[in-house]
Amino acid sequence: MGRRGKKKGRPVSGWVVLDKPVGMGSTEAVSKIKWLFQAEKAGHAGTLDPLASGMLPIALGEATKTVPYVQDGAKIYRFTVAWGDERSTDDLEGPVTKSSDLRPTEAEVRALLPKYTGVIMQTPPQFSAVKIAGERAYDLAREGETVDIPPREIEIGRLDVVEHGADYTVFEVECGKGTYVRSLARDMGRDLGCFGHVSDLRRVEVEPFTPQDFVTIADLEAARFGAQGEDKSGSDDGGDAPDAPIDFDAIDALLVDTSAALDCLPQIAISDDAATKIRLGNPVIIRGRDAPVEAEEACATARGKLVAIGAIEQGMFKPKRVFAG
């Protein structure tokens, strides 16, 4: 008797802008969302630690082709630094490695902010996904090794004090790709001579998405199961769907359109005929008074639907990445 093939799932596409709860890992969140939508393909744009909450953009189907544009977008975090202890993981998870009875004043904290604004060099935490000689730093750290992680250039657009208390400071930071908030806490604590670690972390925004795009697991489950009120399948990790047919219209309505990730690119409206040619990999002439003559990257749409990402050279759109109609 032959083995039953695994179901491929639905060819659904779009972005789920998940408000990830504390305690859920990013990979776990992707698996949950993929199962809820019964999607063929899913991936996330930027890992969020299990102890952190907030925005985790998850791409389904064709939207996975736009993940790099979201990963490169600016991010906003609100985080609390607890002063007095440095920890091995630079957050609440690890044991205390250094302590101090000193506590910074608000004026001392504010005076430090310019040092951490603009283009700076930052050393990632020992417990991070950075690869060292082909291995993840956190795997080496869990084995008790202390590794030499080279500093890297990052960009911080702004760093503000939101609230200051006797033993803590709440910050909001807008930063670019590759920034580690835990490293900010560690380094500021060392500069202030009192040590510090992140005690609370929430990602508020990932460009181009905003808090208005947020959905929760509860929102998605309510839409997915409707009057059933709960999961009847006995699985939430990619298992088979319930036997009863389910109308996916309600949960699909919570998706953000794939093209939203490409707001950073010039938008070119094309005809249906041009869209057909582009989807076959052919270049087309760009018409229209306002159409750019040259662009390294642009986004072509037909009837408001995403067709392709490509380059515009001498008035011709040349597709690089095509999207299903």
Tally Cβ neighbours within 10 Å of residue 101: 6
CB of 32 within 8 A of CB of 236?
A: yes
Write down the catalytic residue from 49, 90, 187, 213: 49
Rounded CA-CA distance 73/213 in Å is 16
Q: Helix or strand or coil: residue 97?
A: strand
Active site residue 273: no
Rounded CA-CA distance 48/120 in Å is 22
Cβ-count burial 31-43 (b if 16+ within 10 Å, e if not): ebbbbbbbbbbbe
- Is 3 exposed, middle or buried, given 0-12, 13-18 or 19+ CB atoms closer than 10 A? exposed
CB of 33 within 8 A of CB of 18?
A: yes
Beta-sheet strands, E only, within the chain: 14-20, 42-44, 53-60, 75-83, 85-87, 96-99, 118-122, 131-132, 135-136, 152-164, 168-175, 196-206, 267-269, 284-285, 295-302, 305-313, 316-322
Q: Give catalytic residues, as residue numbers.
A: 49
